[in-house]
Amino acid sequence: MSTYYEKIEIVGISDKSYEDAIQNAVNEAKNRFSELRWFEVVEFRGGINDNGSVQYQVVLKIAAKKEG
């Protein structure tokens, strides 16, 4: 049996910070995939809501260990 990794791309969003957006993305990935190993930040960006508040957005690639 061999081991390999699958990369999942996910966007984390937060009204607080980029760090919180990263944690939100990792938490969501943990709910959907098992054996997460690392993440790469691909992009930092932000949104501006109608009321002028900022939304932090982070694009991550997260690796999940697979057996096959």
For residues 24 and 60, the answer to whether their CB atoms sit within 8 Å is no
Cα separation, 39 vs 33, in Å, equals 13
- CATH superfamily of domain region 3-67: Flavin-binding protein dodecin (3.30.1660.10)
Pick from 28, 23, 29: which is nearest to 62 by CA? 29
Cα separation, 33 vs 30, in Å, equals 5
Q: What is the DSSP letter of 52?
A: S
Could you read off the pLDDT of 21-61 as tens digits, one per residue?
A: 999 999 999 999 989 999 999 999 999 999 999 999 999 99
* Phi, psi at 17, each rounded to 5°: -165, 170
pLDDT of residue 40: 97
The model carries a pTM of 0.87
